[in-house]
Amino acid sequence: ATVAAPVFAQDAPTLNWRLASSFPKVLDTLFGASEQFAKQISDMSGGKFNIRTFPAGEIVPPLAVLDAVQKNTIEMGHSPAYYYFGKDPILCFDTAVPFGLNARQMNGWMYDGDGMKLMRDVFKAYDVVNFPMGNTGCQMGGWFRNEIKTVADLKGLKFRTAGFAGEVLSRLGVVPQQLAAGDIYPALEKGTLDAVEFVGPYDDQKFGFAKVAKHYYYPGWWEGGAQVSLYVNAGEYQKLPESYKAMIDVASRSTNVTLLARYDNRNAAALKNLIGQGAVLHQFPRPVLEASWDAATLVYAEMSAKDPKFKAVHDNYMGYRDAQVPWFRVAEGSYDGFVSSMLQKKK
Amino acid sequence: ATVAAPVFAQDAPTLNWRLASSFPKVLDTLFGASEQFAKQISDMSGGKFNIRTFPAGEIVPPLAVLDAVQKNTIEMGHSPAYYYFGKDPILCFDTAVPFGLNARQMNGWMYDGDGMKLMRDVFKAYDVVNFPMGNTGCQMGGWFRNEIKTVADLKGLKFRTAGFAGEVLSRLGVVPQQLAAGDIYPALEKGTLDAVEFVGPYDDQKFGFAKVAKHYYYPGWWEGGAQVSLYVNAGEYQKLPESYKAMIDVASRSTNVTLLARYDNRNAAALKNLIGQGAVLHQFPRPVLEASWDAATLVYAEMSAKDPKFKAVHDNYMGYRDAQVPWFRVAEGSYDGFVSSMLQKKK
């Protein structure tokens, strides 16, 4: 006969953890996601598992969150892995890569495809257990002082971007610039910067870019659906009771869907406001998009040739995209397209 | 001075609840969602909050789940509210209505717009607290024995569908038929049924429709993103400790994103298999879609004129759609369209 294991007090220990976000308070969606996660964990554990959240720079610089979790300076972090492009480009597959998966496809790959297993393997080298915890949806291409009419217009363009996008765009003559959020506006005003990509309408409207660089381009082809992840120090994670491990998994998924819902809900109104403030919408010309696609293909080939681990994740991820996109075109694509066309007719 | 409240044993009582699903076991995605939810709650509560899940018909018939939760025969149910179109069409806004929101827009409306508040008000009349807990994404238009080339081809068509779609399609001459899943195939074979709409490739492939009605149409314009909800008996819910209430909210959101990820991941391969088995893909001709749009507009106007409550939810929901669609066309739409066109070129 078996007896149910007795429930000991230590099955629900009181814990006080810290979470460092890579995002400032002003980005209430992204920083707010970690706050929501911490509240859910506290509520579900009856106030026993407490996580204090810190915005970018308060206890850890925004680009040092992965390091801090690895060193166990903090138990948890919330960050987009493409911030660590310099460590290893393979990390970018946890966030977004040029012409990669959109938000729903990313969830499909992570939650029901090979994505979670592959990215867990990648993060193991950093002593981190990762959980998808938010997505911005497809971002905008950014704000430009002058129109981009041809591929040649990219030549010498001082563009605030970084990581994978910077690498690809540099092949087309762009000069990528890394600048903290607060420095962008003055640089655009002075002309030391020609263009900036940030996130999308809801976040962008907080910075007033429309006043100095009114040409607002889409799509942000380097971030078709940018995922942000929760990092947990692997050693600390292993010590947790199973119930707390489950709470982290469940709350991270909950926060994932809620953050995307917030962006989707708020971007629509923000875009309208921005247009009211003088923003002029443009789609990148097709030759510019095609040149970017070709440049990205080249960069992927170079990186794959250099690193078999990169190649393995790249091939799985892009194979997933190639299998998913034809299906998304059928029901979703035709539905969205038809509704959109009827609403334009109505006006 | 204040003292932290002591944690009493009853803060985490042992509970054994039952959840009736409207879905059979064979639909492993939809029924699996309630199983996943129950497992998450059990894991997070250290095995104290137990929810036993029952597939359609085992303890409650699929169309009686809402009633059973209302009467507290069972504490929980998992069901698409449009099954209860006969009680009140307003319930359909919790699932999907013709030419309504897609899956991401639905999450935006529910989680960050007015949707949750409005639908909670609707379900209050049934003594139910509702939580979004799954989405199928845009469904297919269904399987047809003969091609649909003009609006006239809908006249007299014996089509397995129900609820709102049936109401709209009947205005175009369709004769809606309500049939349980197991009866569809023989009816198609005998010719007592001309066409059937079910879900999408992953679920549809289990029934072999391609063999008797090979014309597979898209999009399912009556389900641009069908949401399934968790129902909790309101009286039982109020008795729960706050920690269990939080677990229900968080696990329902987690299950919501996970179910959609499963559908998205699995539909792509299933569609390929179906085409291999002889399915012939068609988009509904534009005049058919436009006639359906006009018929839906008429039905909405009639229902709104009859019932101010319906009108209030309808206007909020459709106003949300009208504000969201132009934004979704910009970044998401152009991104998806470009990637799709490049992959077609590659082939």
Q: Mind listing the pLDDT tens digit for each residue in A227-265?
A: 999 999 999 999 999 999 999 999 999 999 999 999 999
Q: Where are the beta strands (DSSP E) in B219-333?
A: 227-233, 280-283
**Residue B76: per-residue pLDDT:** 98
Domain holding B173, by residue range, is 142-223+276-305+313-322
Identity of the amino acid at A242: E
* DSSP structural state of residue B332: I
Q: In sequence order, what are the residues at sequence separation of 6 or more whose Cβ sits closer than 8 angstroms to the Cβ of residue B303?
A: B89, B310, B311, B314
How far is Cα A320 from Cα A317, in angstroms, rounded to an integer?
5
- Give the distance, in angstroms, between the CA of residue B287 and the centroid of all CA atoms in the same chain: 26
> Is the same domain home to B47 and B71?
yes
Residue A190 lies in a domain: no
- Would you call A262 and B111 a contact, using CB atoms and an 8 Å cutoff? yes
Question: Within this chain, do residues B297 and B175 fall inside the same structural domain, yes or no?
Answer: yes
DSSP B99: T
**Residue B3 resides in a domain:** no
**Do residue B164 and residue B295 come from a single domain?**
yes
Residue A258 with chain B: CB contacts under 8 Å: 111-112, 253
Q: At residue A283, what is the residue type?
A: Q
Tens of pLDDT along B104-116?
999 999 999 999 9
- Closest-CA distance, B241 to chain A, in angstroms, reads 9
Residues B261 and B113 in one domain: yes
Residue of A nearest to B257 (CA): A257
Give φ, ψ of B19 to 5 degrees.
Answer: -125, 125
- The average pLDDT across A277-306 equals 98
Question: Looking at residue B347, what is its pLDDT?
Answer: 64
Cis peptide bond N-terminal to B219, omega within 30: yes
Mark whether B236 and B209 lie in a shared domain. no
Structure confidence by residue, pLDDT tens digits, A100-135: 999 999 999 999 999 999 999 999 999 999 999 999
* pLDDT classification of B8: cutoffs 50, 70, 90: very low
Q: Which amino acid is at A214?
A: K
Could you read off the pLDDT of B318-344 as tens digits, one per residue? Answer: 999 999 999 999 999 999 999 999 999
Residue B203 lies in a domain: yes
A340 pLDDT higher than 90: yes
B58, part of any domain: yes
Do the beta carbons of residue A135 and residue A228 sit within 8 Å?
yes
Say yes or no for a CB contact (<8 Å) between A108 and B251.
no
Widest pairwise Cα distance in chain A: 79
- The ipTM estimated for the assembled molecules is 0.95
CA of B335: how far to CAs of A195, B23, B341, in Å? 20, 35, 10
pLDDT given at position A107 = 98
Same domain for B87 and B128, yes or no, is yes
Domain count, chain B: 2
CATH of the domain at B239: 3.40.190.170
Structure tokens at A44: 């579900």
What is the reported pLDDT for B3?
Answer: 46
Per-residue confidence (pLDDT) for residue A347, from 0 to 100: 65
* pLDDT tens digits for range B139-156: 999 999 999 999 999 999
Q: How many Å lie between the alpha carbon of B155 and the closest alpha carbon of chain A?
A: 23
Burial class from Cβ neighbours inside 10 Å (0-12, 13-18, 19+) for residue A217 reads: buried
User: Are A131 and A212 in contact, with CB atoms under 8 Å apart?
Assistant: no
Chain B residues with CB inside 8 Å of A224's CB? Answer: 335-336, 339
Residue A201: inside a domain, yes or no? no
Q: Which residues contact B136 (CB under 8 A, 6 or more apart)?
A: B29, B30, B103, B199, B200, B223, B225, B226, B228, B259, B260, B263
Helix H or strand E segment including B51: strand B49-54
Distance from CA of B200 to the nearest CA of A (A): 9
Size of interface A-B (CB pairs under 8 A): 255
Looking at the fold, whether B186 and B283 belong to one and the same domain comes out as yes
How close B93 gets to chain A, by Cα (Å)? Answer: 17
CA distance B21 to B245: 20
The rounded distance, in Å, linking the Cα atoms of A259 and A261 is 5
In a domain, B184, yes or no: yes
Contacts of B325 in chain A (CB under 8 A): 336, 339-340, 343
- Residue B207 and residue B111 in one domain: no
Residue B65 pLDDT more than 90?
A: yes
What would the mean pLDDT of A11-22 be, rounded to a whole number? Answer: 95
pLDDT score, position A10 = 61
Instruction: Please answer yes or no on whether B250 and A246 come within 8 Å at the CB atom.
Output: no
pLDDT at B162: 80
pLDDT per position as a tens digit, B78-105: 999 999 999 999 999 999 999 999 999 9
Please report the DSSP string for B136-197 in residue order. --SPP-EEESS---SGGGGTT-EEE--HHHHHHHHTTT-EEE---HHHHHHHHHHTS-SEE-
The per-residue pLDDT for range B13-41, each reduced to its tens digit, is 999 999 999 999 999 999 999 999 999 99
Q: Which residue bears the tokens 């459709």?
A: B318
User: Does residue B347 fall inside a structural domain?
Assistant: no
Output B330-333 pairs: Cβ under 8 A, ≥24 positions apart. Answer: B330/A140, B330/A218, B330/A219, B330/A271, B330/A281, B331/A137, B331/A138, B331/A139, B331/A140, B331/A200, B331/A218, B331/A219, B331/A220, B332/A102, B332/A137, B332/A138, B332/A219, B333/A336, B333/A337, B333/A340
Q: Do A335 and B219 touch (CB under 8 A)?
A: yes
Is B160 inside any structural domain? yes
Amino acid, res. A135 = N
Q: Which residues pair with A345 in a beta bridge?
A: none
Q: Please write the tens of the pLDDT for every residue from B166-224.
A: 999 999 999 999 887 778 899 999 999 999 999 999 999 999 999 999 999 999 999 99
What confidence tens digit (pLDDT) does each residue in A53-105 have? 999 999 999 999 999 999 999 999 999 999 999 999 999 999 999 999 999 99
Q: How confident is the model at residue B6 (pLDDT cuts 50, 70, 90)?
A: very low
Q: How many angstroms separate the CA of residue B103 from the nearest CA in chain A?
A: 9
Note the pLDDT of residue B336. 97
Yes or no, beta carbons of A343 and B322 under 8 Å apart = yes
Share of chain A above pLDDT 90, in %: 93
CATH code: domain of residue B202: 3.40.190.10
Query: ω into residue A219 within 30 of 0, thus cis?
Result: yes
Q: How far apart are CA A259 and CA A107, in angstroms?
A: 13
Residue A290: closest C-alpha in chain B: B342
Q: Which of A46, A289, A333 sits opposite B7 (nearest CB)?
A: A46
Beta bridge partners of B53: B19
From its phi and psi, is residue B322 left (phi > 0), alpha (psi between -120 and 50) or beta? alpha
Burial class (CB in 10 A: 0-12, 13-18, 19+), B308: exposed
Given a cut of 90, is residue A5 above it in pLDDT?
A: no
Q: How many CA atoms within 13 Å lie on the side-chain side of B2?
A: 2
Phi and psi angles of residue B161, each rounded to the nearest 5 degrees, phi first? -160, 175
- pLDDT value of residue B228: 98
Identity of residue A233:
N
pLDDT at A182 over 90: no
